[in-house]
């Protein structure tokens, strides 16, 4: 069973988009901070929600469902459900543990060809009947009742033959459980404001490489290698013509040598040749910001993909003279992969699997470093009428992203990160390669929840999802439930 602990799936996406209960889903399923345009004005968040929104939004406070996959089979001479992956991998009729109020998704896969289903009476929830080997069905429900409940196969005789297990619903919010690792997630609103019109000057940038045990998922930790303790590293902002004086310090407790390669710098290794830095040491390099654009930076110490997958990447914006067109709100989002020995959702401390890394078989696809980073921990906030800009990059190290915001169309896309070429207009999805970046702008015309995804949508099941929560009027002339109004 793939226990995708809070793995993002289409069931919750549909609930979030449509504001309808998720139970019986037989399909693969806050007010904003007022961003200041001035460079020195801090962005503020007002995460309150209207009374009406609280009543109608069943996903309030949730960031993605708890996902279980059950495969039917024969074990110990009886018909059973077998868990696949995570904490319940290979377990027979595993106990599915969730918390009160969580959305639960159950994926059923037919393992041997006979007819089967899964039923949970207490939630009036059930899968479709799967008939034929490898056939599958999905259903979901909200765990609104605390206690232990049975799930079973309703095909005549199958429950008696062994196809029965328990769902345990624990009281309290999982998010309030004590974390065992540091919060390494970079808040997408954590970026400096626009530079605007000024003369070129010398800009000092200080980066520190820090190795830290961080929270990968609710019950999962991982040792990240970071710039300044967060993933991605800090958003760096200069203007064309600036002279950048970079100080790279490697924390004394680090075990590894680290460095930095700026894709926006011209010179040996993008500065990596001068910044191979031992633990406890500091290096300095100076370069000229020659060409405007949005650029990735990353560690470039062998094995380079190891340093990148562990979290050592970020973005450098070199503004054109006079700056970019003004918007109301800016966000900073990066996508990466993590390759762990154990499968996605496994509790405890995860370790990197070098063979999976080299063979490009990640367990996790993530925005800003962790599962739930842009849903539960740091969702994006905006208001109707505002123009939003997202600086989006791919640390990788291996996979291209098809970046998409469900329910929005990008008004402007700075293709391949170029800010000297005219932006594309009216774009649905933008392709960003590993080590690449882009800038997308769009005006928000209707309130609701908009979902950030990589449109290689299977990656939703590996943690890759974000929320943009928009407060304001729900403009029915743009979209409303039901037939057209006369």
Annotated binding site for Cu cation: 258, 263, 298-299, 307, 312, 455
How far CA 147 is from CA of 8, 69, 79, 141, 172, in Å, comes to 25, 21, 26, 15, 12
How many other CB atoms are found less than 10 A from the CB of residue 75? Answer: 13
Q: What string of H, E and C letters represents the secondary structure of 136-181?
A: EEEEEEECCCCEEEEEECCCCCCCCCCCEEEEEEECCCHHHCCCCC
Helix (H) or strand (E) holding 390: strand 387-396
Helix (H) or strand (E) holding 307: helix 304-309
Residue stretches of the annotated binding site: 116, 153, 158, 258, 261, 263, 298-299, 307, 312, 455
Per-position DSSP letters for 256-277, written without gaps between them: S-B--EETT--SGGGGGGG--B
Helix (H) or strand (E) holding 314: strand 313-319
Q: Residue 375 corresponds to which tokens in the numbers above?
A: 């849903």
Residue 369 Ramachandran class (φ > 0 left, ψ -120 to 50 alpha, else beta): left
Long-range CB contacts (within 8 A, 24+) of 51-57: 53/471, 56/19, 57/16, 57/19, 57/449
Q: Residue 122 corresponds to which tokens in the numbers above?
A: 């207490």
Residue stretches of the annotated binding site for Cu(2+): 116, 153, 158, 258, 261, 263, 298-299, 307, 312, 455
349 forms bridges with which residues in the sheet? 221
- CA 457, 6, 442, 36: dihedral to nearest 10 degrees? -160
């Amino acid at each position: 069973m793939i226990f995708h602990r809070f793995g993002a799936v289409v069931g919750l996406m549909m609930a979030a988009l449509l504001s309808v209960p998720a139970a019986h889903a037989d399909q693969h399923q806050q007010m904003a901070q007022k961003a200041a345009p001035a460079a020195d004005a801090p962005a503020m968040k007002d995460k309150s929600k209207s009374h009406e929104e609280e009543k109608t939004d069943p996903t309030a406070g949730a960031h993605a469902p708890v996902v279980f996959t059950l495969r039917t089979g024969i074990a110990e001479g009886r018909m059973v459900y077998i868990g696949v992956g995570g904490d319940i991998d290979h377990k027979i009729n595993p106990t599915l543990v969730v918390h009160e109020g969580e959305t639960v998704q159950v994926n059923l896969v037919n393992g041997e060809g006979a007819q089967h289903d899964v039923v949970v009476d207490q939630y009036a929830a059930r899968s479709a009947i799967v008939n034929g080997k490898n056939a599958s069905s999905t259903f979901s429900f909200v765990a609104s009742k605390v206690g232990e409940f049975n799930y079973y196969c309703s095909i005549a005789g199958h429950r008696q033959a062994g196809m029965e297990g328990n769902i345990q619903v624990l009281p309290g919010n999982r998010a309030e459980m004590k974390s065992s690792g540091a919060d390494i997630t970079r808040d997408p609103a954590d970026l400096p404001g626009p530079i605007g019109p000024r003369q070129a000057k010398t800009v000092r940038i200080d980066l520190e490489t820090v190795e830290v045990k961080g929270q990968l998922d609710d019950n999962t930790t991982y040792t990240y290698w970071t710039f300044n303790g967060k993933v991605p590293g800090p958003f760096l902002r200069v203007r064309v013509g600036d002279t950048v004086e970079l100080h790279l310090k490697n924390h004394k407790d680090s075990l590894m040598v680290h460095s930095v390669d700026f894709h926006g710098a011209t010179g040996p290794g993008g500065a990596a040749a001068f910044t191979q830095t031992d633990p406890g040491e500091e290096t300095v390099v100076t370069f000229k910001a020659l060409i405007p654009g949005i650029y990735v930076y990353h560690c470039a110490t062998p094995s380079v993909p190891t340093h990148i997958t562990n979290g050592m990447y970020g973005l450098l914006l070199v503004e054109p003279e006079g700056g970019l067109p003004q918007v109301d709100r800016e966000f900073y989002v990066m996508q990466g992969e993590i390759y762990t020995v154990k499968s996605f959702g496994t509790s405890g401390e995860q370790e990197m699997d070098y063979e999976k890394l080299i063979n490009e078989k990640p367990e996790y696809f993530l925005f800003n470093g962790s599962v739930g980073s842009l849903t539960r921990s740091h969702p994006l906030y905006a208001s109707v009428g505002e123009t939003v800009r997202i600086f989006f990059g791919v640390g990788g190290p291996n996979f291209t992203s098809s970046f998409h915001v469900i329910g929005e169309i990008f008004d402007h896309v700075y293709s391949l990160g170029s800010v000297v070429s005219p932006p594309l207009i009216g774009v649905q999805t933008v392709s960003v390669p590993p080590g690449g970046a882009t800038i997308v702008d769009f005006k928000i015309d209707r309130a609701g929840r908009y979902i950030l995804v990589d449109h290689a949508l299977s990656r939703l099941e590996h943690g890759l999802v974000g929320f943009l929560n928009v407060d304001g009027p729900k403009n029915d002339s743009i979209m409303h439930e039901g037939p057209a109004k006369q």
